Amino acid sequence: MAAPASSAGFGGMSSDNAKGLALAVSSSAFIGASFIVKKMGLRRAADSGVRAGYGGYSYLVEPLWWIGMISMIVGEIANFAAYAFAPAILVTPLGALSIIISAALAHSILQEKLHTFGILGCALCVVGSITIALHAPQERDIDSVREVWDLATEPAFLSYAAIVVVAALVLIYFVVPQHGQTNIMVYIGVCSLLGSLTVMSVKALGIALKLTFSGVNQLYYPQTWAFALIVATCVSTQINYLNKALDTFNTAVVSPIYYVMFTSLTIIASVIMFKDWDRQNPTQIVTEMCGFVTILSGTFLLHKTKDMNDSTGPTLSTRRPKHASQNAFAIEILPLKYQDAADDETLPLSLPKADNRYLMEELPLRYKDLNMA
């Protein structure tokens, strides 16, 4: 029989939920730091090869990227363990802590400035997450991985999984090639959609290992290995598209948007698969919905922060093109979000444009020769 829902604070948590909370907090610390270290590795790799955002894989030989990757793996292992002890509605929202860590480190290390309203947006995300966590249901009692498999193969969750897979494939094969470099929601959408399936499979594996370590072996069930295969497939795809998002867009914007989309879809998947809301009263459900609204409000502020930053200075930058005409000097216009990737040869927009002579005075000799004709 499922354990009754509890609306008590942290002091009234069950032992398992308290363990899940501690593991989730430590997971957020490692994952939040990993965003920054991986971004530093991606920047270094871009100096010697094709950028990840354009399909390059030079970051695979960059030590910093691997340090960040190891940090993320440690965080994910802690997160993996947390799902074995506590429900997804409790564990997943605590990922908001990684937003605070990554935003603070991006501000101080990567010089990716976060507007005051962006800080407020992060705070709202945390408040909403805490609201959800305080009213999360207790973990339901499960005695075998086959019980999880039965839940995963019910028509409601199978329908959800089919919608997620189809949407992810459409994004990957039709939307990414045309809009991946210009719309932040494309890469993050792929990661978040598949992430919700990853968490459900991770939770199943966590339960299987927890039962195995307690003396009830679950490793001989084929369902355990089926969940492991789903995890491996989804995680590898997520890593690829998360790298593209981090390399293309501002880290302080990527991490909170990814968090909100991933958290929302994961909780929806958990509600469908584990029927979490069936064990809660209307007051708890409404409070959790208010937490979602608070999180979404924080996301809106983070989006507006990006727009406000865009409007406080020049919205376009120019840099020397790879190929110039023999009769004229062409100016390449770059969107603001790529400014952090521009090389040291970037030219300020304030230079006069009406007369190429002013530009030519600042260019190396090899570019002057192009206009000698």
pLDDT in tens, 233-281: 999 999 899 989 988 888 767 877 887 788 889 989 988 998 877 777 8
Q: Please, what sign has the CA dihedral across residues 11, 77, 260, 114?
A: positive
Quick one: pLDDT at residue 54? Answer: 65
Confidence of residue 304 (pLDDT cuts 50, 70, 90): low
Q: Which residue has the higher pLDDT, 109 or 196?
A: 196
pLDDT in tens, 28-45: 889 888 888 888 888 887
Quick one: pLDDT at residue 257? Answer: 81
Quick one: pLDDT at residue 205? Answer: 92
Quick one: pLDDT at residue 356? Answer: 44
2 has pLDDT over 90: no
Q: Which residue has the higher pLDDT, 353 or 271?
A: 271
Q: Which residue has the higher pLDDT, 172 or 16?
A: 172
CA dihedral 110, 112, 115, 117 (to 10 degrees): -80
Confidence of residue 52 (pLDDT cuts 50, 70, 90): low
Quick one: pLDDT at residue 308? Answer: 58
Ranked by mean pLDDT, the top range of 106-120, 255-269, 334-348 is 255-269
**What is 214-225 written as a DSSP string?**
TT---TTSHHHH
- Rounded to the nearest 10 degrees, the angle between the axes of helix 155-170 and helix 145-152 is 70
- Rounded to the nearest 10 degrees, the angle between the axes of helix 251-274 and helix 116-134 is 20
- Max distance between CA atoms of the chain, in angstroms, equals 85
- Rounded to the nearest 10 degrees, the angle between the axes of helix 15-46 and helix 251-274 is 140
Quick one: pLDDT at residue 44? Answer: 81
Q: Which residue has the higher pLDDT, 99 or 254?
A: 254
53-62, 169-178, 205-214, 319-328: segment of lowest average pLDDT? 319-328
| β-pair partners for 333 | 318
Quick one: pLDDT at residue 302? Answer: 65
Quick one: pLDDT at residue 152? Answer: 94
Query: C-alpha angle 212/25/253, rounded to 5°?
Result: 120
pLDDT in tens, 84-98: 888 888 888 777 777
The overall average pLDDT reported for the chain is 76
Contact (CB, 8 A) for 35 and 68 = yes
The H-assigned helical ranges of the chain are 15-46, 63-85, 88-91, 96-108, 116-134, 145-152, 155-170, 176-179, 184-213, 222-248, 251-274, 282-311, 356-360, 365-368
CA distances (Å), 354 to each of 280, 282, 333, in order? 67, 66, 16
* Percent of the chain residues topping a pLDDT of 70: 74
* Percent of the chain residues topping a pLDDT of 90: 26
**What is 189-221 written as a DSSP string?**
HHHHHHHHHHHHHHHHHHHHHHHHHTT---TTS
347 has pLDDT over 90: no
Output DSSP code: residue 175: I
57 has pLDDT over 80: no
193 has pLDDT over 90: yes
| β-pair partners for 332 | 319
Provide the token pair at 346. Answer: 């970037």
Quick one: pLDDT at residue 224? Answer: 94
Quick one: pLDDT at residue 140? Answer: 75
What's the first-to-final CA gap in the chain, in angstroms?
A: 85
> What gap in Å lies between CA 208 and CA 148, rounded to an integer?
9
Confidence of residue 187 (pLDDT cuts 50, 70, 90): very high
> What gap in Å lies between CA 135 and CA 161, rounded to an integer?
26
Provide the token pair at 156. Answer: 């409601």
pLDDT in tens, 128-170: 877 877 777 777 778 899 999 999 999 999 999 999 999 999 9
